[in-house]
Amino acid sequence: MSATEGQTLTPRVLPGTAERAARSGAVELVRARGPAVAGYALPFALVAYLALAGGGYDPVVRGEIGIAAWWIVLLGAAVGVLPATRVPSPAWIVLGLLAAFGLWAGLGVMWSDSSERAVLEATRIATLLGVLALAIAAQGRDGLRRTVCGVAAAIAVVAVLALLSRLHPQWFAESEVSTAFGGDRLSGPLDYWNGLAALLAIGLPLLTWIAAEARTLVARAAAAAAIPALVLAGYYTLSRGGAAEAAVAIGVLVALHPRRLTLLPTLILAIAGGAILVAAAGQRPELADGLTTPAALAQGDEMLTMAIVVGAGTALVQVAIGVAARHRLGPRLRVSRRAGRAALAGAAATALLAAIAIDLPGVAADRWEEFKVVDGSPGDDASRFESAAGNSRYQYWQAAVDAGGSRPLVGVGPGTFEFVWAREREIPGFVRDAHSLYVETLAELGVAGLMTICALIGFVLATGARRALRRGADERRTLLAAATAAGAAFALAAAIDWAWELTVLPVAFLLLAAAIVGPSAESRRRRTSRFERRPLAAPARAAVGLAAAAAIVAIAIPMASTSLVRESQAAVGAGDLDAALVDARSAVRAQPYAAGPRLQEALVLELRGELEPALAAARAATDAERVNWRTWLVRSRLAARNGNAAESVRAYRRARSLNPASRLFR
């Protein structure tokens, strides 16, 4: 064959055609496989990363997540792969409610006593909005199941790591062990025992669903093995709130599950496995107290062996239950609606009689009085589960409600409850948060903010419950029951603690919320049209681009300022005051309205012996945040060192008036 003949057999390719075809094929591959990959990877990666990064409490960690989420949304919309499916109306409602909450917090800059705190809270919500937008945009045909499995798997990994840090601390670095122990209560990797317990409570109904309903026996076995470990980790947190959240989650799961009797064997198995481990842990006090003595280490080895045995046994029994269910072996329990209603009525009557017998109203009143006791302490061992002492929560909530009453519509300003407490408190102790999302929102954002956040959480739970109870495919309804139960656990955690500030908890809730309101959670009769993908039109792409760019800038500015202040502090520790001053002034330029960078600049200038510029920076800090007693105290000291006795006394008195109960001023 001649060269000419060979050339005639070769297709002619126009310049650039191959490249365009490759790009087109890549885009189509992403469109086809992207939702499936993202459906599992996104929830798992977000929850696992945030949990292992101290729960995402750090504003820098939180900001990185927000910027990454918005960048993905921006790029996905630009190339036409997001949204993966048509976004239904309930999803738009949830997005709108969270956006309205963030916008209201951003407007709080106008009336807040601290613009820096208001901006920080607004960017917190912007980060959560980015996660929610990404989760909704990435929802695919099987998004509900993938989200439930991804979140559950991440929480299972966190539970196992937390438990291992208690049972076998030698496997962890010394700093990780000290953080994970948090004293005698298990707190790592979230660095807060109640936060860890809340995360475990969110995961409990999800893992229960996988153990009972997963499509493969391997997944059922793995989930069943993880549940006793999760229960044991929850016990070591000694968190009464976590126990209540877990109970609520299981109660909601049972109430919404369409096939409660089929769920019963898995629940009994999970409770039995967890109870065995908790009973064994109660007999090993040194380990329960978080000690690292030889006796405690030996007890840890024993508990680790027992946890492995119980987990393996639970997995095997769950596999047997799954095989029996698939092959329809054994008796099939069926209860008619009439019999079910009769049983429910009988249970209600029995509960009512029991409540009368034990004088439940009187017991509840006594418990409430115990909860209200100032600085009531429930103890530091397992006996705390029997106590109703509130650790001063009643006082925190009362202060928040009083602050909200002073400015009922708009509140005192986002992020400023700390200043309200310091000024008004009658008991000692530093508190940053009101230990309740709802009363703190009332204090800081008024009735408008409270109604918005309650509408957001309530709408998600109501939608999940309504769809779970509606006729449709059993798997979809069971998934909705599990996701809604996990959401109920978060709603309770947010009511009794500062769960909103531990980013991993609202992120887990919003991921599940996106699945609940997404197209895969709708009834089968309406699902076909919902999965039709409609690429965004040019105006919509432009709107998404502008919103994403604005969110990225809003998140990046305070994050950069915080990083610069920390770099300045690190430079001070290293003795490099020149670099420390450069970083502090860069932070001031990034956030000229913020008190924190100004205060850092003042402290660095003081160390350099430049007292007059230091005093000027301290004055700027007090002007930016006039209700922060710390800035006034630093200004008082610098004024005294500059020889301004009158200004020093005035600043000192101002600081004392803003924190009168502090021991510093006694």
- Indicate the CATH number for domain 556-665: 1.25.40.10
Query: What's residue 118's pLDDT?
Result: 93
Q: What is the mean pLDDT of residues 135-162?
A: 92
Helix and strand numbers (H, E) in the chain are: 27, 0
Q: What percent of the chain has pLDDT over 70?
A: 86
Q: Does 83 sit behind a cis peptide bond, omega within 30 degrees of 0 on the bond before it?
A: yes
Check: CB of residue 622 under 8 Å from CB of residue 632. yes
DSSP labels for 64-93?
HHHHHHHHHHHHHHHHT--SSSPPPHHHHH
Domain range list for the chain: 101-130+144-331+371-530, 556-665
Structure tokens at 652: 């000192």
Instruction: Specify the pLDDT at position 534.
Output: 62
Instruction: Assign 324 a pLDDT band (cuts: 50, 70, 90).
Output: confident
Q: Is the pLDDT of residue 130 over 70?
A: yes
Query: How many angstroms separate the CA atoms of 186 and 239, rounded?
Result: 9
Calculate mean pLDDT across residues 219-247. 94
54-77 per-position pLDDT tens digit: 999 999 999 999 999 999 999 888
pTM of the shown model? 0.90
Secondary structure letter of residue 643 according to DSSP:
T
Angle between helices 294-326 and 217-237 (to 10 degrees): 150
pLDDT in tens, 407-465: 889 999 999 999 999 988 878 778 889 999 999 999 999 999 999 999 999 999 999 99
pLDDT of residue 14: 46
The stretch 295-313 carries a mean pLDDT of 90
Map tokens 């109640």 to a residue.
194
Tell me which of 619 and 169 has the higher pLDDT: 619
Stretch among 94-98, 526-530, 538-542, 625-629 having the lowest mean pLDDT: 526-530
Q: What is the structure's pLDDT at 1?
A: 41
Does the structure show a pLDDT above 80 at 525? no
Please write the tens of the pLDDT for every residue from 509-519.
Answer: 999 999 999 88
Contact 228, 208 (CB under 8 A): no
Residue 363: pLDDT band with limits 50, 70, 90: confident
> What percentage of the chain has pLDDT greater than the value 90?
59
Q: Output the pLDDT for position 529.
A: 55
Q: Is the pLDDT of residue 364 over 70?
A: yes
Give the pLDDT of residue 327. Answer: 67
Predicted confidence at residue 82, as pLDDT, reads 77
For residue 340, the model assigns a pLDDT of 58
Query: Which residue's entry shows tokens 């400023």?
Result: 416
Let me know the angle formed at the C-alpha of 517 by 514 and 521, rounded to the nearest 5 degrees: 105
Tokens of 466: 């309504």
